[in-house]
Amino acid sequence: QKGYDLWLQYDPVEKDLKDQYRGQINTVVPYGKGETLNVAVLELQKAYEGFFQKKLEKSISIGGQDVVIGVKNDLPPYVLPSVNNELTQINSEGFVIKKIFIGNTPVTVITAQSPQGVLYGVFRFIREIQLRKSLENINIVDSPKIQKRVLNHWDNLDRTVERGYAGFSIWDWHHLPELIKPEYVDYARANASIGINGTVLTNVNASSVVLTPQYIEKVKALADVFRPYGIQVYLTARFSSPLELGDLDTADPLNPEVRQWWKDKADEIYAQIPDFGGFLVKANSEGQPGPNNYGRSHVDGANMLAEAVAPHKGIVMWRAFVYSEHDPDDRAKQAYSEFVPFDGQFHDNVLVQVKNGAIDFQPREPFHPIFGAMPKTPLMMEFQITQEYLGFSSHLVFLPKLFEEVLDEDTFVQGEGATVAKVIDGSLNNKKLTGMAGVANIGTAKNWTGHPFGQANWYGFGRLAWDPYTDSEEIAKEWLKMTFSKDRAFVEQMTEVLLNSREAVVNYMTPLGLHHIMDTGHHYGPGPWVGNLDRPEWNPVYYHRADSLGVGFDRTAPGSNALSQYAEPIREMYSSPETTPEKYLLWFHHLPWDYQMKNGKTLWYNMAAKYQQGVEDVEEMINTWNEMQGYVDDQRFEQTQMLLQIQLKEAKWWRNAVLLYFQQFSGMELPDFIPEPEHDLKYYKSLEFPYAPGISPSWH
């Protein structure tokens, strides 16, 4: 299974380059001590052996053409002057890789302020070889732009994974703490290689059981495995834990006993795991308990937990994913309405974690209006790497394209250029604490992510968390080269496939600003007809609002006025359909079926054209992939080929079902280019998926 090695495939270097590289890496000379330095050496040796089929020897003194690694303070005094200048340019996790001369002796130095930085430098050095870059005059100075680069596992203690499509949870809780699986180490290696420095082990729909002594011991075992790789563990904190685990009859955050309970709990965890990262909390959201249950606010809840972890340098990631069953207002507005008034009231060690869009990880959403609207509060980005609304692990969708689109959006809150990326990396409002979270797509699948291309989304998330300004095209190329083949023809054609794949899924699922029309509960396949659920905002009909007059959600002033939550000039621009980007048209407007769009055709015609385009996009992906056989091992080739067939089948399903459904309202003919649907609407409505993966017990 080549898929298991992810992007860390250390394949033999081609003959012509081999000597050139080997000439530069004679031995590795580590300075200093410690677990992190040890794993850095081990990784370099592992890579070297793969590249050159030879063992990389360790030496205790510099001989020439060596790779010298170590933190700044451990380097010999005669090395330091050559890297001192660079060292002043990096932060505590950054690194310097530089070719220098000691006298006449050339060596490559990999150094940093911290052991973790050295490890990142080593992985970067390895990547340079994986990408076959020259090491001749190597001089790389790099630092992460975001501090907390964290995976969120929505993993339950029974090993089911909420919205997980790659098997069960990789955390084998039952056998922990004794059984340490090699996967845990490889997981840590993979994350460290892309700079991820934190992992939340448990589902946001949390169980308090993970906070019991029995489970803290298990968590400690994982933390011990991850520590050398610079990865901190975090847990989700169920707000009602003091009730469930303590003898308390309240979880009121202002109650002194409750506050003490959390302090004690934090002390208990830190006694075992001194570098425990802190808590992630979903409170008063979709039935989870929270401070509102006691008439208290999100600030009260978050600050109580923040105080409990503060003495240990822990943080709290408090989610802003809230919408109330009692609030009749547009769901898209609620998080903003609830959180923005709290700006400036959270403690310093609280990050408010905000999903990229105001609804829920759709194939496309405008950026969340909270970004930019809470200048006094550190905001953490939450992306979803697992493809809950984007075809599960059956569809090839390259998400860095989506992430990049959001990060590049201009909030205009402080004039032009106030991009979401600048909010997140803290540069816009000079924030000390910064973070980005990604809901993991990892499971027990032999290749970790189920779809071989799901790995690209894990990789891409890490790269963008490190540097939110990275170009998605660069990410695609790197990943393809490291994971599959460096052959130019392969890389060029497949880069195009990756970069187009996100638009393809938007086209065949939710074009022109449509959203949340997936079938209910499991979100597998189309369900625009669903309208019978208790909570209105759980129904697709709530989002598309189709009727004989038109389709779309009016979020302008006469409608829900969600638009008012954005700054000018967005507010003004999007208030008229003519000046709204067509990709967001039906997100903000309810328009007649015969509304004339920029190309002179009707809305109905354009909608049909998008769905058709989506299907054709997948056909094109298939054609390209079929030509890639020679570049890829059979196993991954065939697996991808079969999955693409599922994707095509499902793209057609989406097109047919949604168009037949909307046709009832538009009363217009399907344009000629739409092939006769294989089934009628009744058939599509009748489909059921009782065992669709990814539904958590928390929903039952």
Q: Which active-site residues does the annotation give?
A: 286, 360, 388
| Least distance between ligand BDP and beta carbon 198 (Å) | 18
Site track 304-333 with ligand BDP (rule: CB under 6 A), x = hit: -----------------x------------
- The residue (of 96 and 440) whose beta carbon lies closer to ligand BDP is 440
**Before 569, cis peptide (omega within 30)?**
yes
- The residue (of 324 and 641) whose beta carbon lies closer to ligand BDP is 324
Footprint (CB under 6 A) of ligand BDP, residues 206-235: none
Task: Map tokens 């690194």 to a residue.
Answer: 95
Q: Which residues contact 278 (CB under 8 A, 6 or more apart)?
A: 234, 309, 314, 315, 316, 317, 349
> Distance between CA 667 and CA 655 in Å, rounded?
17
Closest by CA to 151, choosing from 462, 476, 505, 473, is 462
Beta strands per DSSP E along 295-420 = 315-319, 350-355, 379-384
Q: Which of 205, 292, 411, 495 binds ligand BDP (CB under 6 A)?
A: 205
> Distance between CA 663 and CA 109 in Å, rounded?
65
| Least distance between ligand BDP and beta carbon 592 (Å) | 32
> Distance between CA 627 and CA 496 in Å, rounded?
14
CA 470 to each of CA 397, 400, 440, 598: distance values in angstroms, whole numbers, following the listed order: 18, 10, 20, 32
- The residue (of 228 and 540) whose beta carbon lies closer to ligand BDP is 540
> Distance between CA 593 and CA 547 in Å, rounded?
9
Handedness of CA 257, 320, 218, 233 (dihedral sign): negative
Total residues contacting ligand BDP by CB under 6 A comes to 10
For 259, left (φ over 0), alpha (ψ -120 to 50), or beta?
Answer: alpha
204 binds ligand BDP (CB under 6 A): yes
Footprint (CB under 6 A) of ligand BDP, residues 55-84: none
Closest by CA to 232, choosing from 162, 302, 172, 279, is 279
Which residues are registered as beta bridge partners of 99? 108
DSSP 366: P
* Beta-sheet pairing, 95-102 with 105-112: antiparallel
- The residue (of 205 and 612) whose beta carbon lies closer to ligand BDP is 205
> Distance between CA 241 and CA 279 in Å, rounded?
13
The half-sphere exposure of 238 on its side-chain side, counting CA atoms within 13 A, is: 21
| Least distance between ligand BDP and beta carbon 258 (Å) | 23
Q: Largest Cα–Cα distance of the chain, in whole Å?
A: 82
- The residue (of 342 and 361) whose beta carbon lies closer to ligand BDP is 361
Single-letter code of the amino acid located at 414: Q
- The residue (of 247 and 691) whose beta carbon lies closer to ligand BDP is 691
Q: Hey, how many other C-beta atoms are within 10 angstroms of the C-beta on 263?
A: 17
Element of type H or E holding 551: strand 550-551
> Distance between CA 654 and CA 652 in Å, rounded?
5
Element of type H or E holding 588: helix 585-588
Q: Which of 5, 93, 155, 162 binds ligand BDP (CB under 6 A)?
A: 162
155 binds ligand BDP (CB under 6 A): no
448 binds ligand BDP (CB under 6 A): no
592 neighbors 545 (Cβ within 8 angstroms):
no
Site track 254-283 with ligand BDP (rule: CB under 6 A), x = hit: ----------------------------x-
Q: Please, what's the b/e burial string for 531-541 (b: 16 or more CB within 10 A of its CB; e: otherwise)?
A: eeeeeebbbbb
Task: Map tokens 């496309």 to a residue.
Answer: 364
- The residue (of 110 and 281) whose beta carbon lies closer to ligand BDP is 281
| Least distance between ligand BDP and beta carbon 351 (Å) | 16
Q: Hey, how many other C-beta atoms are within 10 angstroms of the C-beta on 136?
A: 11
> Distance between CA 188 and CA 229 in Å, rounded?
6
191 neighbors 458 (Cβ within 8 angstroms):
no
Site track 506-545 with ligand BDP (rule: CB under 6 A), x = hit: ----------------------------------------
332 neighbors 562 (Cβ within 8 angstroms):
yes
| Least distance between ligand BDP and beta carbon 534 (Å) | 16
360 binds ligand BDP (CB under 6 A): yes
Phi, psi of 99 (to 5 degrees): -80, 125
DSSP 620: H
| Least distance between ligand BDP and beta carbon 453 (Å) | 21
Task: Map tokens 């924030």 to a residue.
Answer: 431
> Distance between CA 570 and CA 587 in Å, rounded?
14
Q: Which of 31, 120, 361, 654 binds ligand BDP (CB under 6 A)?
A: 361
338 binds ligand BDP (CB under 6 A): no
| Least distance between ligand BDP and beta carbon 1 (Å) | 29
- The residue (of 96 and 385) whose beta carbon lies closer to ligand BDP is 385
Q: Which of 148, 153, 163, 451 binds ligand BDP (CB under 6 A)?
A: 163
Footprint (CB under 6 A) of ligand BDP, residues 376-415: 388
Residues at the contact surface with ligand BDP, assessed by CB under 6 A:
162-163, 204-205, 282, 286, 321, 360-361, 388
